[in-house]
Amino acid sequence: MNAIFTRTSIRKFEDKPVEKEKIDKLLQAAFVAPSAGNQQPWEFYVVTKRETIEALAKTSPYAGAAAKAPVVLVIAARKDVI
């Protein structure tokens, strides 16, 4: 609970790549997250291509800060399961 109550939001990013080990660790945690009936109705995309990140940042008024991020994780729901 401490991690939830003491978290901070970061909207400024360093201009350096994120280590593959850190991305892998995040994905491992995401893959084991519980879902109703263990349906796991999600897909995860790791985006590092600058042009794609900038395009994604324009898809929502809340995503603008992502434009300067070195990597973006996109989580999508699969309609065939939900």
Instruction: Identify whether 12 is part of a domain.
Output: no
Question: Distance between CA atoms of 69 and 52, rounded to whole angstroms?
Answer: 11
Spell out where 21-79 has E strands: 42-47, 72-77
- Residue entry with tokens 């434009």: 67
Entry pTM = 0.80
Share of the chain above pLDDT 90, in %: 68
Instruction: Identify whether 44 is part of a domain.
Output: yes
Give the tens place of pLDDT for each residue, 44-75: 999 999 999 999 999 999 999 999 999 999 99
Q: How many domains does the chain have?
A: 1
Closest residue by Cα to residue 73 from 35, 54, 45: 45
- Residue entry with tokens 């850190």: 22
Whole domain around residue 65: which residue ranges? 29-82
